[in-house]
Amino acid sequence: MPHVLIAADDEWLVDEVRAALEGLEGQDGAPATFTICRSGHAVVPAAARRTPDLAVLDLQLGNMGGMAVCMSLRLDESGGRLPHIKVLILLDRAADLHLARRAGADGWLLKPLDPVRLSHAARRILRGDHVYEGLPAGMPAHAPDGVPLPATPPDPASAEVAEASGADGESARGDEVAAS
């Protein structure tokens, strides 16, 4: 069964993400379980307690947003304190995609979200694929060795074309981690 960590401080967003991903099933047919973090600072300790198969991070998350959380997860991974955790970042605007790219996210989606897109992206990332929504055609998200490329602003003309085309607590469904 896949275990998903959702990091968001807006209740509506947590509800929307959880509802879209409740249909995820593991190879054994067991439904997904969830850990909810209401602050960015709660993510790494929660991930250390129970490693998620996927972390869905909101870009706007109190005083430690999705980018900083992703970078913290990658730093702990490089130091051997955590395994690689697949990360999907929810972006507010296309201009933020270079930040997600720089942070080493496995994928990102642009808000507003819809359940089908979110579920599809989560499934792809869990399979080992990447989802880079809004990336201009021809711009790689990662170098061939998997290291994130330095953030470079996309060519405005190609961006327009791309846009035109396209307190711990256990509950019945998972853990809830409150902001500290």
Confidence (pLDDT) at 28:
78
Pairing of strands 174-177, 131-132: unpaired
Confidence (pLDDT) at 54:
98
Pairing of strands 174-177, 169-170: antiparallel
Question: In whole angstroms, what is the distance from residue 19 CA to residue 14 CA?
Answer: 8
pLDDT in tens, 120-137: 999 999 999 999 988 766
pLDDT in tens, 66-80: 999 999 999 999 999
Q: Is the pLDDT of residue 63 over 80?
A: yes
Question: In whole angstroms, what is the distance from residue 63 CA to residue 41 CA?
Answer: 9
Strands (E), 62-114: 86-91, 107-110
Confidence (pLDDT) at 178:
53
So what's the architecture of 3-177 in CATH? 3-Layer(aba) Sandwich (3.40)
Q: Is the pLDDT of residue 171 over 70?
A: no
Q: Residue 29: pLDDT band by 50, 70, 90 thresholds?
A: confident
